[in-house]
Amino acid sequence: MTEELKKRCIIYAVGVFVYVCGIAVTIQYTMTDRAKFIWFLAAYLIVGFDAFKVLEEKLAQKKFLTEYTLIILATIGAFGVARYVEGVLVMLLFELGMMFEAYSTDSAKRSIKELIDIRPEYATRKVHGKEFKVDPSALKLGHIIVIKPGERIPVDAVVVSGTTSIDTKALTGEAMPQSAWPGDRIYSGCINLNGVIEAKVTALYVDSTVTKIMEMVEEAQEKRAESEDFITRFSRIYTPAMLVCALLVMIYPPLTFSYGNWDTWIYRGLIFLVVACPCGLVMSIPIAFLGGIASAARQGIVIKGGNYLEDLSKADTFVFDKTGTLTEGIFKVKEVKAVGMDNDELLRIASHVESYSNHPIAQSLSEAYGKEINKSKVYRMREMPGYGVNATFEGERVYVGNKRLMDRQKVLCDEVSRNGTVVYVAIGKKYAGYIVIADSVKEDAKTTLQYLKEKCKAVLVMLTGDTKSSSLEVARRLKIDYAYAELMPEDKLEQLEDFLDLQDSTERLVCVGDGINDAPVLARADVGIAMGALGSAAAIEAADIILMEDELPRIVDAIKIAKETLRVVSQNISFALIVKVLILILATIGYFGMWEAILAEVGVMFAAILNAVWVVRYTV
């Protein structure tokens, strides 16, 4: 509980005490009307302290007609017709509802914070054989840190010595520990389980994975969904409309069919104001979206805002990258064909040039080469998204990439048609040969895409920079509706725009990717989903939803959470409106008194908020 909420509770408790004492005194002794007025006014002002404070803030923002306006007008009116006990009771129950809402919101935010607040308190830096405890923010690139069993990894790093198992559940939601060997990347926020390791810092604390994730989720709490905006707009019209209706209830009957009966109808008009207060609607919906974000975070899915939950629930077009998203991204060299040299030499050159890239193709070349790579021979390496890489190796400029790269460098060679990815190699302007690398489709890709087709009635699209032969084979196996191959990042974006143009206002497009090539389309889509985004800064920055584990079924999990959140929101809106209309009718014809009306209103508010809070515990 926050300090502010604690102060509210103390003030409220004092007000309740004064109110209860007032009731006890009036029962025990005979009091004048003036004395009753003063006593209950004191209780009213104490209990309603926070309501008056909020109303003042709203008026300063030029928001004149809010739920606070309705309640305060109704309670002041109750005092005007000498209904002191009821007037204070209305404010007392209203404030109780407000505090419950504040507590629920605070609880949801704390739940999110606890789920993601996995920052370590210290780091152990090793300098000249000695170990020093330092603040993680003091670490610099290249520093050597020591991580012992049970300690959290302070920043993103690369293991340089020792082996261990890493608990990545805090980031990925995956219960199975991951092995870490020298050369493996490890990520901040994860826990070292059983071995002492030394690692070299690869990212500053402010740029580390856990810091970025925490910033994103904290910012997500401020992003409003369409349902929240709708309720805000609805309240702007609803509140003044209810105020006019209450005035009509007070004025019209005494001037017509119940002539002169002013006290009765003013009282009923005040009851109408109390019942009309839209608290349950206004408060429960933001809590439901907070709950959805917290539920997703608990299951290794980072959602940057409630608006993306709502958009994901409406998605009917899913655009996928191929390599690393639909396929394993674990390439194996299937064929090497050298020109003017032997195959081993071609593989040696290509693996060295690709050695600074983290692309799966680079890893497969290194594995196929099978020998130690001397990176000191490689310099001025440049990665060219959509083409490949080039670098200076042993004094010569070497180009490794697709056929477009050869055409761009004006290297003459025939296009090779193989089932897989063909990597062309050129030394200067001279063609040196090609290497065929094949990937395999992920085991869970077919079931995930089948769910999207059957449950979401989705159109499936694949945009890839890979060759037509390998891309169309994947599209055929997964029954993808539209497949576009050999695309540059700008081509992917252009193709995405075409699909976006076909949508109407009720449809949403989701793009799923995992790397730098996908960043532009992830940012442009209605919802961008980055898969297995640990360490992929471009994907984390561009995407709206981050799946911390590289598993396609997590997309289905995210959709289920989104749909459950929207189901709760719809339930709350329907329930609150139906009950409110019913009570308004009963109050107007005299079946409800003021305290019964506020009790019913607070009951609706509590039910809606409890229903919304339940989303936090929703597990797929």
List residues with catalytic annotation.
321
First-to-last CA distance in the chain?
Answer: 29
Decide: helix, strand or coil at residue 489: helix
- Please state at what angle helix 279-298 crosses helix 553-588, rounded to 10 degrees: 160
CB 294 within 8 A of CB 617: no
Q: Are 51 and 90 in contact (CB under 8 A)?
A: no
The partner residues of 382 in beta bridges, in order of sequence, read 390
| CB contact at 8 A, 488 and 461 | no
State the Cα–Cα distance between residues 608 and 235, nearest whole angstrom.
17
To which residue do tokens 């090497």 refer?
336
Name 532's Cβ contacts closer than 8 Å, sequence gap at least 6: 324, 514, 547, 548, 549, 550, 551
**Pair of tokens at residue 439:** 């990937």
Instruction: Compute the half-sphere exposure of residue 143: CA atoms within 13 Å on the CB side of its CA.
Output: 26
3-state secondary structure of 460: strand
Long-range CB pairs of 527-536, under 8 A, 24+ apart, other chains included = 527/308, 527/311, 527/312, 527/315, 529/555, 529/558, 531/324, 531/325, 532/324, 534/171, 534/172, 534/185, 534/187, 534/209, 535/156, 535/185, 535/187, 535/209
Give the chain's largest Cα–Cα span. Answer: 113
Question: Helix crossing, 279-298 with 209-220: angle to 10°?
Answer: 160
Contact 572, 288 (CB under 8 A): yes
Distance (Å, whole) CA 360 – CA 369: 14
* CA 527/CA 309 separation, integer angstroms: 9
- Which class for 389: exposed (0-12), middle (13-18), buried (19 or more C-beta within 10 A)? buried
DSSP state of 149: T
Closest CA to 92 of 43, 22, 21: 43
